[in-house]
């Protein structure tokens, strides 16, 4: 069977719901440290956006007993396990947030890390290959890079529905759990912005897991931190890198290549392979055997 | 009539032929100053590429009595006044240009401005509106920003077939000439790279027309120079700006807004409105009356 | 007569008093736009500092009918027309402004332009040569660069008492007035920070006079704005440039060289030669004839 | 006894001789990868400089059986175990290396990492305290930061004779050896330049030991590599950080603080504490017991 939804019907990763057991601290992190803007509230949820996100929100932050991801939405036309939609609410800034230039969604906040827009989402998968095929065949996304182990197992895949080299990544869950959240990423304009982001996280007592450094896979410049609720959040910069080729063939990384660590030799930190939300100690779902 | 080629059939701006009356000096500019790589030669032409361009070439530099543009090609399926194609030759680097990371087209040159990839093309148009409609209706491109004068005339349009906010721009030819070339742009990763580019052009005696500065329209950070053959070349950086919205409405700039100059107030230099190649003194074609 | 104070007795430019007819707006500019920190208040004055300034304050902002400079102080031992002192109050940050790293004066604010430290001061002089000789002979400063007109008149001088290539500059007052203030400069870490500063000034409706661009003289990367009280303020970055040579000879710039404009060809804006505070219309002091 | 040479008589770190068992490869590293310029040759030595170094050379590269440091020179007036001098040869660029701006030592190379100037030197010391006292008392340098262990031993000291926060550092030799070389550092303008430096080292197969990352001590942004001869070389950026205070008190770092790793949490790599040149296996001198 080939894809029932065509690639072009899926516009882009649109918003993600994060669950936090410390919602007030998480909110302060996203607003004061990352520099995001609160759009509205409803019930136990606060809706947030980065300054160049065009929609009403790209992040829904919801109080919850356990950290993790609530849902993910792509903007387009049709359903499946994911939430896919077309009708949306474009963000209309209040007067004090109107930008000086009319081709910008909102005034530049000049606060904290000043993240610009939602970039991508990374999920831990019990079965990477099955998930990749679902996104390729059912949702028409393209795989741009992959990790294939010596035994043929797929350990990671990066897929896209735009000219960004990935909108979504999934890596094998070390524990075989299903649906755990690895990280959500907001983009900034330059590698210097990522470095400044690390300075700011340090000043605010935010736990820096690893980075800043350059990924070998996808070559993005990364900083990984844990927001106070426990979810991993990345700030990244891709420079001018885009995938424009219509016949791009997935780049396959081997076990030997991955052992070299990140682009400049930094060894991948152990927790990057094992930590996700909910933390495995609080995970109660099924596991792959 | 609606578009006969659908937007998704046009992948991206692919290559441009520039004509130079001083081909040796032009070649030195592209290789030594911009840091591009020569892929091959044939007859009076040299084929060149930036380090992250995936195809064999994105620039064909051809000796000619008069400066200007030879042709422009988009990668896709069908023809028209433009050259459109699908079959291509992916770049295969010789051993000494193999990159350290396999997801990169070529080794980073570490020479001159180190431009990364072809970004966009700007043409002077006798009739901006007609050209815009052609690109929208026939080629399925989307217009993201426009200049509309108080009398209703269109003075400029920026169109795209990717998530970049423009792949092609056309602005009104002050002299009503047809098909003059305004500029070709190569992208770098950061605004700092553009600034360093200005330092390098200064050291090499390259004429800097204007910049570095930030455009109000499209917000790209620009540097405009004339290559030795007389053609205007831009080095730009867009940061993390992309157009992801499927229902993006063109941003319309008025005369009054344009009079404010560029983003931070720099007045647009006069030659930017009048100079193109071939220079008007050497232009022999028809003019709009 | 040779200098009565030796160069090494003058440590560095320490603080400057600015006079503002709109003190509340000026204060908002320095705190919210530039990202400075208020240290204390007394009478009509507010004391301010940048995040890496080690003293209690580097700027004293005082309400006044007319804009201009109140005084300038160097830290050291002896007096003259300037205020020179040794005893000082090191800044002791309150708990919420304690930095994460103990070798830093204060927590990074992550607000606005985040200026780092006082860099230099520029005065309009009725007699550049006389002022230069005073700073050289009496205060033991060194001249690193100068403008000498074809008729032998000195039109500008840059002097230093540190390894920075200048701490103080004076340029000829077009109107022959005495003691008018040209600008005060706070330094940031990179050229990218200056560019971001321009973005932030634009968003805040701050008048940008010129820049960002690179000076030919001293090669600093500049942005000039007017704070709401009317005083010109610069944000600059010098990269890794320092004057380390003990026998550095002043670089002399000629009229012809100055006509080339700034480093990358930007013409120096007219107001840069004529505007100072108090504005000439409000200036009531003596003039050179 | 107090210093016999006054602080101000020692102008700056001037040049360092490095010994290489692979002189041709080392030379290619300094010229092609770091972007330095060869000034002249004599015997087994090549004299090199960065583009903004004002003297004839800041690095003397000499063929040798074993890697290490030959000598270090400060520019000033009097002798001791170090080589100190005043008379020097200012660099006079040949026509093809003349800069566009006359206040610059040489044309910007636009090649490789484009290091700007010699920044500092780090030595492994058998007795840190004795060496610190020598530099303070005999040579009049100031200590800006130190590591003091819980038992009172000094494990590292950073001293300066300029407004840079250090020109020279010495850290305890793990093996108690005397006079081993730890690293030599060239400065670039921005943290982005250091990152690009890492990209370039990766492309050239240069061993990256650690970084880019930010030091907690001194807050410089570092990249450590081994040049082909085995000597450790650093590329760093300090942003706008300077020590201007005449009464700066040394910042003392404790064992507990050092265990936190570098500024953003990167653990200090083991070889950083043990590797120096000559490598301990080839070291034949005395050791502290």
pLDDT digits (tens, 9 = 90+) for C122-151: 999 999 999 999 999 988 899 999 999 999
pLDDT digits (tens, 9 = 90+) for C62-102: 999 999 999 999 887 444 445 877 777 888 899 989 888 88
pLDDT class of D227 with cuts at 50, 70, 90: very high
Q: Mean pLDDT over residues A253-277, rounded? A: 93
What is the model's pLDDT at position D4? 42
Which chains form contacts with chain A, at 3 or more CB pairs under 8 Å?
A: B, C, D
B54, B239, B247, best to mutate vs chain A, most A CBs in 10 Å: B239
CB-based burial label for B135 (10 Å; 0-12, 13-18, 19+): buried
| A95 has a chain C CB within 8 A of its CB | no
| B226 has a chain C CB within 8 A of its CB | no
pLDDT class of A272 with cuts at 50, 70, 90: very high
Residue of chain D minimizing CA distance to B202: D100
Under 8 Å between Cβ of D45 and D36: no
Q: Is there a contact between B246 and A190 if contact means CB atoms under 8 Å apart? A: no
* A285 backbone φψ class: left, alpha, beta (φ>0; ψ -120 to 50): beta
Helical residues (DSSP H) of chain C, grouped into ranges: 23-28, 128-133, 191-203, 255-258, 270-274
What is the model's pLDDT at position C8? 58
> What is the full DSSP assignment across chain B?
---SS-GGG--EEEEEEEEESSHHHHHHIIIIIS--EEEEEETTEEEEE-TT--BS-SEEEEE-SS-EEEEEEEESS--SSSEEE----B----GGG--SSTTSSS----BTT---EEEEEEEEES-HHHHHHIIIIIT--EEEEEEE-TTS-EEEEEEESSSSS-SEEEEE-TT-BSS-EEEEEEE-SSHHHHHHHHHHHHHTTPEEEEEEEE-SSTT-EEEEEE-TTS-EEEEEE-TT-----TTPPPEEEPHHHHTT-STTSPPPPTHHHH--BS-TTT--S-B--
C100, C188, C203, best to mutate vs chain A, most A CBs in 10 Å: C203
Instruction: Look at residue A279 and give its three-state secondary structure.
Output: coil
Q: Is there a contact between B242 and A103 if contact means CB atoms under 8 Å apart? A: no
Instruction: List the B221-226 sheet strands across, edge first.
Output: B207-214, B221-226, B232-237, B181-187, B117-125, B168-172, B154-160, B142-148, B251-253
Under 8 Å between Cβ of B180 and B283: yes
Under 8 Å between Cβ of C141 and C85: no
What is the model's pLDDT at position B10? 83
Q: Is there a contact between A99 and C203 if contact means CB atoms under 8 Å apart? A: yes
Chain B residues 191-220 with a CB less than 8 Å from chain C: 191-192, 195, 198-199, 201-202, 208, 210-214
Q: Is there a contact between A240 and B238 if contact means CB atoms under 8 Å apart? A: yes
Tell me the pLDDT of chain D averaged across its residues.
91
Place of tokens 């081709």: A103
Gap between the terminal Cα atoms of chain A: 27
User: Which among D195, D214, D263 is the nearest to A191, CB-wise?
Assistant: D195
Distance CA D229, CA D202 (A): 17
Chain C residues 254-283 with a CB less than 8 Å from chain D: 257, 263
Residue of chain A minimizing CA distance to C99: A203
Q: Is there a contact between A264 and D198 if contact means CB atoms under 8 Å apart? A: yes
Q: Which residues pair with C46 in a beta bridge?
A: C41, C61
Q: Comparing C-alpha atoms, which of D142, D186, D132 is closest to residue D166? A: D142
Q: How many residues does chain C have?
A: 289
Which chains form contacts with chain C, at 3 or more CB pairs under 8 Å?
A: A, B, D
β-pair type (B251-253, B232-237): unpaired
User: Which among D101, D200, D205 is the nearest to B110, CB-wise?
Assistant: D200
Distance CA D245, CA C129 (A): 29
Q: How far is A107 from chain C (nearest CA, A)?
A: 6
β-pair type (D221-226, D207-214): antiparallel
Q: Is there a contact between B239 and A163 if contact means CB atoms under 8 Å apart? A: no
pLDDT digits (tens, 9 = 90+) for B234-262: 999 999 999 998 889 999 999 999 999 99
| C34 has a chain A CB within 8 A of its CB | no
Other C-beta atoms closer than 10 Å to the C-beta of C223 total: 26
Distance CA B278, CA B231 (A): 8
Poorest-confidence range of A17-26, C131-140, D160-169? C131-140
Chain A residues whose beta carbon lies within 8 Å of the beta carbon of residue B190: 189-192, 239
Under 8 Å between Cβ of D251 and D156: no
What is the model's pLDDT at position A88? 79
User: Which among A192, A201, A263 is the nearest to D191, CB-wise?
Assistant: A192
- What the block records as the tokens of A72 is 């993910």
Chain A residues whose beta carbon lies within 8 Å of the beta carbon of residue D201: 264
What is the model's pLDDT at position B82? 57
pLDDT surpassing 60 at residue D5? no
What is the model's pLDDT at position C81? 45
Q: Is there a contact between B202 and D111 if contact means CB atoms under 8 Å apart? A: no
What is the model's pLDDT at position A76? 73
Nearest 10 degrees: CA dihedral of C143, C148, C151, C155?
-90
Percent of chain D whose pLDDT exceeds 70: 95
Q: How many residues does chain D have?
A: 289
Under 8 Å between Cβ of B60 and B36: no
What is the model's pLDDT at position D289? 65
Angle value at C-alpha B88, between B87 and B89, nearest 5 degrees: 145
pLDDT surpassing 70 at residue C5? no
Under 8 Å between Cβ of C67 and C231: yes
Residue of chain A minimizing CA distance to B165: A103
Place of tokens 């107001």: C271
Q: Mean pLDDT over residues B74-96, rounded? A: 74
Other C-beta atoms closer than 10 Å to the C-beta of C90 total: 12
pLDDT class of A78 with cuts at 50, 70, 90: very low
User: Which among A90, A190, A218 is the nearest to B190, CB-wise?
Assistant: A190
| A163 has a chain B CB within 8 A of its CB | yes
pLDDT digits (tens, 9 = 90+) for D184-217: 999 999 999 999 999 999 999 999 999 999 999 9
Q: Is there a contact between C190 and D187 if contact means CB atoms under 8 Å apart? A: no
pLDDT class of A4 with cuts at 50, 70, 90: very low
pLDDT surpassing 60 at residue A17? yes
Q: Is there a contact between D203 and B100 if contact means CB atoms under 8 Å apart? A: yes
Give the containing element (helix H, strand E) for A191.
helix A191-203
Q: How far is C63 from chain D (nearest CA, A)?
A: 29
| B98 has a chain D CB within 8 A of its CB | no
Other C-beta atoms closer than 10 Å to the C-beta of D288 total: 12
β-pair type (A142-148, A154-160): antiparallel
pLDDT class of D10 with cuts at 50, 70, 90: confident
In the A/B pair of chains, how many CB contacts fall below 8 A? 112
Q: What is the ipTM of this complex?
A: 0.92
What is the model's pLDDT at position B150? 97
Tell me the pLDDT of chain B averaged across its residues.
91
pLDDT surpassing 50 at residue A2? no
What is the model's pLDDT at position C41? 97
pLDDT digits (tens, 9 = 90+) for D86-143: 777 888 899 989 888 888 888 899 999 999 999 999 999 999 999 999 999 988 899 9
What is the model's pLDDT at position A239? 92
β-pair type (D117-125, D168-172): parallel
Give the containing element (helix H, strand E) for D202.
helix D191-203
D162, D244, D260, best to mutate vs chain C, most C CBs in 10 Å: D244
Distance CA C136, CA C147 (A): 16
Percent of chain A whose pLDDT exceeds 90: 78
Q: How far is D119 from chain C (nearest CA, A)?
A: 9
Residue of chain B minimizing CA distance to D35: B110
Q: Is there a contact between C113 and A110 if contact means CB atoms under 8 Å apart? A: yes
What is the model's pLDDT at position A81? 45
Chain D residues whose beta carbon lies within 8 Å of the beta carbon of residue A212: 212-213, 264
pLDDT surpassing 70 at residue A1? no
* Number of continuous H segments (helices) and E segments (strands) in chain D: 5, 15
**CA distance readout (Å), C34 to A111, A193, B214, C105:** 12, 17, 20, 17
Percent of chain D whose pLDDT exceeds 90: 79
What is the model's pLDDT at position A179? 84
Under 8 Å between Cβ of D246 and C11: yes
pLDDT class of A256 with cuts at 50, 70, 90: very high
pLDDT digits (tens, 9 = 90+) for A130-188: 999 999 998 889 999 999 999 999 999 999 999 999 999 999 999 999 889 999 999 99
Residue of chain A minimizing CA distance to C204: A100
Q: How far is C258 from chain D (nearest CA, A)?
A: 11
pLDDT surpassing 60 at residue B84? yes
Distance CA B261, CA C146 (A): 32
What is the model's pLDDT at position D182? 97
Distance CA C33, CA A72 (A): 36
Residue of chain C minimizing CA distance to B221: C195
pLDDT digits (tens, 9 = 90+) for A215-246: 999 999 999 999 999 999 999 999 999 999 88
Q: How many residues does chain A have?
A: 289
pLDDT digits (tens, 9 = 90+) for B36-63: 999 999 999 999 999 999 999 999 999 9
Distance CA D103, CA C144 (A): 9
Residue of chain A minimizing CA distance to C114: A110
Other C-beta atoms closer than 10 Å to the C-beta of C102 total: 14
Distance CA A94, CA A220 (A): 33
Beta strand residue intervals within C36-180, DSSP E: 37-42, 45-49, 59-63, 68-75, 83-85, 117-125, 142-148, 154-160, 168-172
Q: How far is D123 from chain A (nearest CA, A)?
A: 25
Q: Mean pLDDT over residues C21-38, rounded? A: 97
Distance CA D154, CA D171 (A): 8
Q: Mean pLDDT over residues B2-29, rounded? A: 82
Q: Mean pLDDT over residues B26-34, rounded? A: 97
User: Which among D35, D110, D203 is the nearest to B99, CB-wise?
Assistant: D203
Q: Is there a contact between B240 and A104 if contact means CB atoms under 8 Å apart? A: no
Under 8 Å between Cβ of D172 and D152: no
Distance CA C238, CA D190 (A): 10
User: Which among B208, B212, B263 is the nearest to C202, CB-wise?
Assistant: B263
pLDDT surpassing 80 at residue A282? yes
């Amino acid at each position: 069977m080939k894809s029932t939804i065509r690639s072009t019907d899926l516009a882009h990763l649109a918003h993600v719901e994060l669950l936090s057991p410390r919602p007030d601290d998480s909110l302060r992190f996203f607003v004061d440290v990352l520099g995001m803007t609160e759009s509205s509230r409803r019930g136990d949820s606060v809706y947030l956006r980065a300054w160049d996100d065009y929609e009403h929100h790209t992040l829904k932050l919801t109080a919850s007993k356990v950290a993790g991801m609530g849902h993910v939405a792509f903007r387009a036309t049709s359903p499946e396990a994911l939430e896919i939609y077309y009708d949306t609410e474009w963000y209309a800034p209040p007067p004090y947030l109107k930008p000086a230039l009319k081709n910008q969604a909102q005034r530049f906040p000049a606060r904290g890390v000043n993240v610009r827009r939602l970039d991508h989402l990374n999920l831990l998968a019990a079965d990477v290959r099955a998930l990749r095929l679902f996104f390729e065949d059912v949702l028409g996304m393209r795989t741009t890079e992959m990790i294939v182990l010596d035994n043929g197992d797929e350990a990671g895949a990066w897929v896209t529905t735009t000219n960004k080299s990935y909108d979504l990544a999934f890596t094998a869950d070390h524990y075989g759990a299903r649906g755990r959240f690895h990280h959500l990423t907001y983009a900034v304009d330059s590698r210097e912005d990522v470095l400044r982001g690390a300075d700011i996280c340090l000043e605010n007592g935010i736990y820096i897991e690893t980075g800043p450094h350059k990924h070998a896979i996808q070559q993005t410049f990364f900083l990984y931190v844990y927001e106070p609720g426990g979810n991993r959040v990345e700030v990244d910069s891709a420079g001018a890198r885009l995938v424009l080729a219509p016949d791009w063939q997935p780049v396959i990384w081997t076990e030997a290549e991955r052992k070299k660590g990140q682009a400049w030799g930094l060894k991948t930190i152990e927790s990057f392979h094992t930590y996700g939300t909910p933390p495995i100690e609080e995970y109660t779902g099924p596991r792959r055997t």
